[in-house]
Amino acid sequence: MRNLRIIRNTVKHWYLFLLIGLLLVGVGLWAIFFPNRSLPVIALAFSLAFLISGIGEIFFAVANRDQIDDWGWNLVSGIFGLTIGALMLLNPEISVIALSFYVGFLVFFYSLKTIILSFDLKKYLLVKWGNFLAIGIIGLLISFLLLAKPFFTDWMIIIFASLGVITVGSTNIYFAFKLRKIKVLARRVSDSLLSRYEQVKQEIESALLDETE
């Protein structure tokens, strides 16, 4: 009964996740294919990407607080990304030393959010949730490797940090297209059908309430 209520209003600004994803994937690929860049430069690029993506997620969450039931996850995720990006930007020396930990914790949080949201997506008969879950699990594995920094050289830290950022970016791109699909499908549901759905829902809830009394 909960699924139609979630999608009855069209999602606003779904493309923000697409732009955020492209930004993160682009930064991650840049760091991998240009490994001769110094660690401080890569840390700066990551911090700016996290800062921008965090602001974008916060804006999306607030704009869709009346459209999406689970909008709070995106708000918390945006605040977390904004905080990590700001910390890295304000403490460049520490960011270089603790790059794998910053990125590791960020990838861990995003991956955990992805896994949780994948089970929410499972409730929609319209949305395939398995791929979303798989990306989340891959992200978790990468975050664990990043948090085991003592076993890595600087070059390996850059590679795994970049892979983590690419994974987060891919998640955002995938999520963006699912949001777009939900937006399109929600428009196909007529007002009369939604009205009948709400009426049936209330009747079922009343019947269940009578059963428990």
| Nearest by Cα to 122 from 6, 11, 5, 3 | 3
Query: With contact defined as beta carbons under 8 Å apart, do 64 and 16 qualify?
Result: no
The pLDDT value recorded for residue 134 is 87
Predicted local distance difference test score (pLDDT) of residue 135? 86
pLDDT at residue 2, as a whole number: 45
171 contacts: CB under 8 Å, gap ≥ 6? 21, 110, 111, 114, 132, 135, 136, 139
**DSSP code, position 150:** G
pLDDT under 70 in the chain at which residues?
1-10, 35, 67-69, 121-128, 149-152, 185-205, 207-213
Residue that is written with structure tokens 């994974």 in the block:
167
Maximum alpha-carbon separation in the chain: 71
Q: Which two tokens stand for residue 36?
A: 């001769």
Predicted TM-score of the model (pTM): 0.78
Instruction: For residue 149, give the DSSP letter.
Output: G
pLDDT at 25: 96
State residue 193's pLDDT score. 59
The pLDDT of residue 57 is 92
How confident is the model at residue 56, as a pLDDT? 93
The per-residue DSSP string of 69-89 comes to TTHHHHHHHHHHHHHHHHHHH
Instruction: Give how far the C-alpha of residue 85 lies from the chain's centroid of Cα atoms, to the nearest Å.
Output: 16
Q: 203 with 48: CB under 8 angstroms?
A: no
At 68, which helix (H) or strand (E)?
A: none
